[in-house]
Structure 1
């Protein structure tokens, strides 16, 4: 895959140039129902995001995947500014969060599947809407989304989320942009894979997130067997479980033969987690403290390099259609194939 590439907010870049990747972050959250309900979610400072990233760069970080999707606090223009100021690669997200981020009059409930698919395709191929489709006018930026996101709730996938998973699946089949998902407490990962597969998505193009919130290695191995990527981002959340459990899950997946399916991030979507906002432990914790913990547990530099660099190169690559195919409707997308 020497010609593989990743879509960042500044440009498409060869996958080999990503370097060390933070695979699940939230650099900016400005507005939206989430912030209205919980002020700790308000990450509204470009300067503070720059400060956190610069701290991570001291340990070699080069790429950050911002996972805030449509109309839930995403600010594409701010992501461009952060990328330019820090000279890092930032991958932005289009798609959707769980229903609690949208009121019951939101367009996700009323637009047709075809309409939503077209909106997602445009974000990936033409440029993201400056206002993240919170309407009514669209001001499209040159910056494109490099991830499609879907989300489920605790032990359930609501009807509107099923609709949105179908939309992101079909947008993926048209654009080749990979899919990343939110699981609530690590539940419904397999159900997400089954749903996406139903619409023709290869699990190898899917990243299932927050799985260390459900520290059941059997479940993780079952998911990895499908070919999807398993993303861990709770290594500092001792309020949920000790850090040793995340270490054990990573080493367990490696021992089971799935080391090439592991990704790491921090998912620090609260200002109380950021040093720049006066909290902690700060995003640099991942490289400064957790990676040394993995080394002490016996992981070689080669295995760690796979998790931080080689695996993300594959996971976040945009797939090329084997045969050029113009999007003409949902029914014609299900048989699309990717290199």
Structure 2
């Protein structure tokens, strides 16, 4: 593929952005969260995953971004097999996750530059001897309200790798408005906000947080749309509509973050297709148009993930400095 064309790196190689279709930008197809969730945290059945992906494809999904890092079970060969078997594009992640998963993964023994160099090698040459290259950095992030020392080193490493390879960073920023500090660290290293996806914003119930992130120029990702609570899904719909009304629809991303067995349809959850079968119709009923829904599921993810000559400036307010209000959230 000519390097002059915008593309996204998948486990089967580069794909033109226009071929991605509807994207789930934050999911996990195989993951090991047993440390926190015991048996419910082991999502590792290949045949089951194919069936779940087939259902999502039937619902409209064409691309899945798997944000699983090495510390929590990433397996490039399995992801490639899943992509081939289910007929969906899969984008693989790289980087270092969060506490309590990264302290035993040599992160304490290496500098941010060392860690970045390892990521760059994967992004350019593939993971180990597989030749399979990641297409996104993440998910990287924080377990608490502020980054720990080791989390900060991993975040700065992600920024350095992003600058070297023109790759987007996607973060874990759950329950606390820690996306502000993540963005600040990235910007200190020179990463532009349009290259950053702040994740799990639906778990921070503060519309000012969402708006200030959007004003700063990053992507605001509501990625826990799982149908497990109608109350939570209603809140998330409100957050999306609020940003749309404020003129920030082009910076909103939607996903489900399926990461536990109980999230899969085989175990009583709603799987990878719920966003398409239930949540998008909910937004449509609340007044969003078909063009709006396409913006959320097709155009925004493609623009967020693309490498190459993609003009992101038109979608973002100028962000030479972080909004003053951000200081109140530190």
> TM-score higher than 0.5 here?
yes
- The one of 290, 295, 298 equivalent to 2:284 is 295
Please name the residue that 1:121 is paired with: 120
| Ranges of 4+ aligned residues in structure 1 off by more than 4 Å | 237-241
Post-superposition Cα deviations, 1:2-38, rounded to whole Å, max 9, x if no partner, equal 8211010101011111100011100001x5xx32442
Shift of 1:226: 1.2
Task: Answer yes or no: is the 8 Å Cα contact 2:226–2:263 preserved in 1.
Answer: no
Cα distance in 1 between the residues matched to 2:288 and 2:227: 21
Secondary structure at the aligned position of 1:71 is classed as helix
Task: Answer yes or no: is the 8 Å Cα contact 1:186–1:209 preserved in 2.
Answer: no
Shift of 1:96: 1.3
Shift of 1:273: 0.9
Residues 233-312 of structure 1 aligned to structure 2 (within 5 Å): 233-236=223-226, 238=228, 241-276=231-266, 278-312=267-301
- The one of 9, 12, 15 equivalent to 1:10 is 12
Query: Are residues 108 and 247 of structure 1, via their aligned partners in 2, closer, same or farther at CA, if it must alter by over 3 Å?
Result: same
Task: Answer yes or no: is the 8 Å Cα contact 2:202–2:236 preserved in 1.
Answer: yes
Please name the residue that 1:35 is paired with: 34
Task: Answer yes or no: is the 8 Å Cα contact 1:64–1:91 preserved in 2.
Answer: yes
Residues 103-182 of structure 1 aligned to structure 2 (within 5 Å): 104-129=103-128, 140-149=129-138, 150-182=140-172
Please name the residue that 1:49 is paired with: 49
Please name the residue that 1:19 is paired with: 21
Task: Answer yes or no: is the 8 Å Cα contact 1:273–1:282 preserved in 2.
Answer: yes
Task: Answer yes or no: is the 8 Å Cα contact 1:67–1:92 preserved in 2.
Answer: yes
Higher helix share: 2
Secondary structure at the aligned position of 2:191 is classed as coil
Shift of 1:48: 1.1
Relative to the length of structure 1, the TM-score reads 0.86
Please name the residue that 1:188 is paired with: 178
Secondary structure at the aligned position of 2:171 is classed as strand
Please name the residue that 1:228 is paired with: 218
Query: Are residues 312 and 74 of structure 1, via their aligned partners in 2, closer, same or farther at CA, if it must alter by over 3 Å?
Result: same
Cα distance in 1 between the residues matched to 2:217 and 2:246: 13
Cα distance in 2 between the residues matched to 1:55 and 1:105: 37
Cα distance in 1 between the residues matched to 2:82 and 2:276: 20
Please name the residue that 2:191 is paired with: 201
Q: How many residues align?
A: 306
Query: Are residues 238 and 47 of structure 1, via their aligned partners in 2, closer, same or farther at CA, if it must alter by over 3 Å?
Result: closer
Post-superposition Cα deviations, 1:49-86, rounded to whole Å, max 9, x if no partner, equal 11111101112210000011122211111101001111
Shift of 1:127: 0.3
Please name the residue that 1:334 is paired with: none
Relative to the length of structure 2, the TM-score reads 0.89
Please name the residue that 2:67 is paired with: 67
Gaps of 5+ in 1: 130-139, 322-339
Please name the residue that 1:133 is paired with: none
Secondary structure at the aligned position of 2:43 is classed as coil
